[in-house]
């Protein structure tokens, strides 16, 4: 461990043992704010290591938090991981960064996070009572004990445990990502809306998509699932949803620009100041973001053959069911490089994201269309792209 301290602003380094000789790497984080603050905030970016807009935003936010700390304005304890996946930063092949998947296992870095209630239910049995705050503390203590008792078998497991150790007792946990080519949007749990409406406003989100379980074991669902499952397993005990968590999608992968990151950091700072977690003027209240919609109402539009995309619509454009979103130019067959097949919208809504790469394989996702009515094809299944 190593640290640099100014007021309560501290940098921490954690060395992840490599799986092969010479492959150890370092995870950097910062903590800032009073140790005894009643609220803990965990912020992280680039869990998908090839998604860098969030890192740019946290670069700017760290300076704002450091300066606010020096002026004694922080009313929460912040843990900040500007690039939370150093393992993925090393995943390069033929001059291309492939930071979404563990090269060894093929597992998406933001999938298959542990079911914490299943891990601790035996330890908390009989210890929950009539005090909701005590019940939350009991659950958090059990999770910390479980983390401390794990023996990681790989660098990827070691990284996950290090991140969970910071996040498990957070009151607010924000995981900063981006899409391929996209407008800003949020993924969160339905119980957290409309309470998180202020976050959507400050972010300037074009959409807030909600799901209890998107099917992939994403990091933002770990803590809500802990409290939700504990409450359902113990209906006679008061167990609140004690963590506000969300995945924040900051546009697309190419949108890593200083001015954008600064604006995003100002939005986060305004959100925290508006919550009273920073004793500073949050600035003018932003415009209201659209109301949340169930993630099941968002179509992930896919193609049924390979080809070259020629989009007919822009991001944010409203479309109707059956309207062509793009043409797919054939790249084989008797009409190769001549034939064009329209790709049609399957719902009414607006175009939230598109594919940055225009050559797509069969089954490739080319757009998300945000509607308002849940789709039969999206019920009870895997809601994510991969």
Same-domain pairing of 286 and 316: no
**What's the token pair of residue 80?**
């900040």
Q: Is residue 386 part of a domain?
A: no
Same-domain pairing of 302 and 286: no
Q: What is the mean pLDDT of residues 265-276?
A: 98
Same-domain pairing of 211 and 303: no
Same-domain pairing of 261 and 300: no
Same-domain pairing of 80 and 183: yes
Decide: helix, strand or coil at residue 317.
Answer: coil
Q: What percentage of the chain reaches a pLDDT higher than 70?
A: 98
Q: Is residue 383 part of a domain?
A: no
Mark which of 291, 320, 352 sits at the end of a domain.
291
Reported confidence tier of residue 156, pLDDT bands at 50, 70, 90: very high
Q: Is residue 385 part of a domain?
A: no
Q: What is the mean pLDDT of residues 87-114?
A: 95
Mark which of 243, 259, 291 sits at the end of a domain.
291
Spatial CA neighbour of 27 closest among 105, 92, 106, 81:
81
**Relative orientation angle of helices 222-233 and 116-124, to the nearest 10 degrees:** 40
Q: What is the pLDDT of residues 102-128, one digit of tens each?
A: 999 999 999 999 999 999 999 998 999
Q: Is residue 220 part of a domain?
A: yes
Q: Is residue 216 part of a domain?
A: yes
Q: Is residue 52 part of a domain?
A: yes
Q: Which domain holds residue 311?
A: 295-378
Same-domain pairing of 230 and 321: no
Same-domain pairing of 310 and 273: no
**Residue 308 sits in a domain of what CATH number?**
2.40.50.100
Same-domain pairing of 63 and 174: yes
Same-domain pairing of 191 and 311: no
Same-domain pairing of 150 and 286: yes
Same-domain pairing of 80 and 127: yes
Mark which of 291, 315, 332 sits at the end of a domain.
291
Reported confidence tier of residue 6, pLDDT bands at 50, 70, 90: very low
pLDDT at 4: 42
Q: Report CA Rg, the chain.
A: 22
Number of domains in the chain: 2
Reported confidence tier of residue 46, pLDDT bands at 50, 70, 90: very high
Same-domain pairing of 317 and 279: no
Spatial CA neighbour of 226 closest among 133, 108, 142:
142
CB-CB contact of 303 with 366 (8 Å): yes
């Amino acid at each position: 461990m190593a640290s640099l301290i100014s007021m309560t602003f501290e940098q921490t380094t954690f060395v992840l043992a490599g799986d092969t000789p010479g492959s150890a790497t370092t995870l950097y984080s910062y903590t800032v704010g009073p140790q005894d603050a009643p609220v803990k905030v965990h912020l992280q970016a680039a869990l998908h290591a090839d998604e860098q807009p969030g890192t740019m935003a946290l670069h700017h936010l760290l300076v704002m938090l450091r300066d606010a700390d020096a002026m004694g304005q922080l009313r929460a304890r912040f843990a900040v991981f500007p690039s939370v996946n150093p393992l993925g930063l090393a995943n390069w092949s033929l001059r291309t960064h492939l930071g979404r998947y563990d090269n060894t296992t093929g597992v998406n870095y933001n999938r298959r996070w542990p079911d914490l209630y299943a891990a601790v239910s035996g330890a908390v049995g009989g210890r929950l009572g009539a005090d909701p705050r005590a019940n939350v503390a009991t659950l958090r203590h059990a999770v910390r004990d479980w983390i401390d008792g794990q023996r990681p078998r790989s660098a990827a497991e070691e990284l996950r445990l290090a991140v969970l150790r910071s996040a498990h007792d957070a009151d607010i946990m924000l995981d900063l990502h981006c899409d391929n080519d996209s407008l800003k949007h949020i993924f969160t749990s339905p119980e957290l809306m409309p309470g998180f409406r202020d976050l959507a406003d400050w972010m300037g989100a074009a959409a807030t998509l909600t799901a209890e379980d998107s099917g992939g074991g994403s990091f933002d669902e770990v803590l809500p699932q802990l409290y939700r499952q504990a409450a359902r397993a113990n209906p006679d005990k008061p167990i609140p949803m004690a963590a506000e968590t969300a995945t924040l999608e900051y546009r697309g992968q190419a949108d890593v620009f200083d001015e954008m990151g600064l604006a995003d950091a100002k939005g986060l700072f305004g959100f925290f100041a508006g919550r009273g977690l920073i004793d500073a003027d949050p600035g003018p209240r932003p415009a209201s973001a659209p109301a949340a919609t169930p993630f099941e109402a968002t179509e992930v539009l896919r193609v049924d053959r390979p080809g070259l995309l020629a989009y007919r619509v822009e991001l944010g454009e409203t479309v109707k069911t059956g309207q062509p979103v793009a043409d797919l130019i054939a790249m084989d067959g008797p009409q190769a490089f001549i034939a064009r097949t329209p790709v049609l919208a399957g719902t009414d809504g607006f175009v939230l994201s598109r594919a940055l790469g225009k050559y797509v394989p069969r089954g490739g996702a080319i757009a998300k269309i945000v509607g308002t009515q849940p789709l039969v094809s999206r019920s009870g299944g895997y809601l994510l792209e991969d």
